[in-house]
Structure formats: C-alpha cells, structure tokens
C-alpha cells in the first residue's frame, strides 16, 4: 500500500497581511514604534492590517513568539478590528513564558482589518523587539 501527496504552491494563504499604502498582500512585515519609560504608546492603525480575500470566514490564531528584553515591557495590547467589528483584543502583561499560547479569532469573508497596538514600557526601560505570529486553519 502507498499514497502520494502532491503539493500546489500558493504565494499567499487566504488570510494575509495587507499593506495599506501599496494595497499589497504580505506574508511578513516589520514595524517600529517609539516607547518611553512608564508611558503607554498607542497606534490604532499600523502600516499593515489583516486581509481575508476568501469567500468564506477563516479561523486564525495569534501569539507572541518572542520578546527581546522582556523587562523593558510592562504591557502589550493588540486589537484587530474594522469599521463594523472588533474581532480580537488581548492584553499581555507576563512575558516570562514565551511563546504565549495561541489566541483564536475569526476573519469574515472578503474583509480587511486594522491592527491596533498599545505598548506600556516599564520604568526604567530600553529597546525591545516583539515577534508576533499569526496563523490560520485550512489556508
């Protein structure tokens, strides 16, 4: 007995990042924000969002996979939303056990979502880099 598996390459899954200023799909992106010791920094509309370009909704998952210098960060909040619906909001305040567990959210068919962040730096503080992962079921 045997079976064969044939793969079909797709450049992007059905749910991708969306670069607002170029209207292009992306699998990854980098983003930089200034933080200040003991101060909450808010960015309600990052340079990239999330786009489900399928005709069906998709279950997705998000987590913090790594954080350099976790002592510099007191809090991270991520919200995924559009003009009619907030589909995900999560606050993290503990960064000792990374990666964090996967957190679920659902994207609607043919929908684009903004990503909002709130970062509260510790006091004293310094630079840090988060790596945030997003995956989907049945891409």
Q: Are 55 and 110 in contact (CB under 8 A)?
A: yes
Closest CA to 107 of 62, 64, 77: 62
The predicted model gives 14-30 an average pLDDT of: 95
Distance CA 69, CA 73 (A): 8
CB 73 within 8 A of CB 98: no
Is residue 106 very low, low, confident or very high in pLDDT (cuts 50, 70, 90)?
A: very high
Confidence (pLDDT) at 138: 73
Domain boundaries, the chain: 15-136
Assign domain 15-136 one CATH number from 1.10.3470, 2.60.40, 3.30.1330, 3.60.60: 2.60.40
- Mean pLDDT of the 60-89 span: 96
Distance CA 3, CA 54 (A): 30
């Amino acid at each position: 007995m045997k079976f064969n598996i044939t793969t079909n390459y797709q450049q992007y899954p059905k749910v991708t990042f969306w670069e607002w200023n170029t209207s292009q799909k992306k699998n990854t992106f980098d983003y930089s924000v200034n933080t200040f010791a003991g101060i909450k920094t808010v960015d309600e509309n990052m340079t990239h969002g999330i786009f489900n370009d399928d005709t069906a909704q998709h279950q997705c998952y998000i987590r913090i996979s790594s954080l350099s210098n976790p002592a510099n960060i007191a809090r991270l909040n991520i919200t995924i939303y559009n003009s009619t619906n907030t589909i995900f909001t999560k606050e993290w305040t503990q960064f000792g056990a990374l990666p964090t567990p996967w957190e679920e959210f659902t994207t609607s068919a043919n929908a684009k979502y903004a990503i909002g962040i709130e970062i509260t730096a510790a006091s004293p503080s310094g630079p840090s880099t988060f790596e945030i992962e997003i995956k989907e079921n049945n891409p």
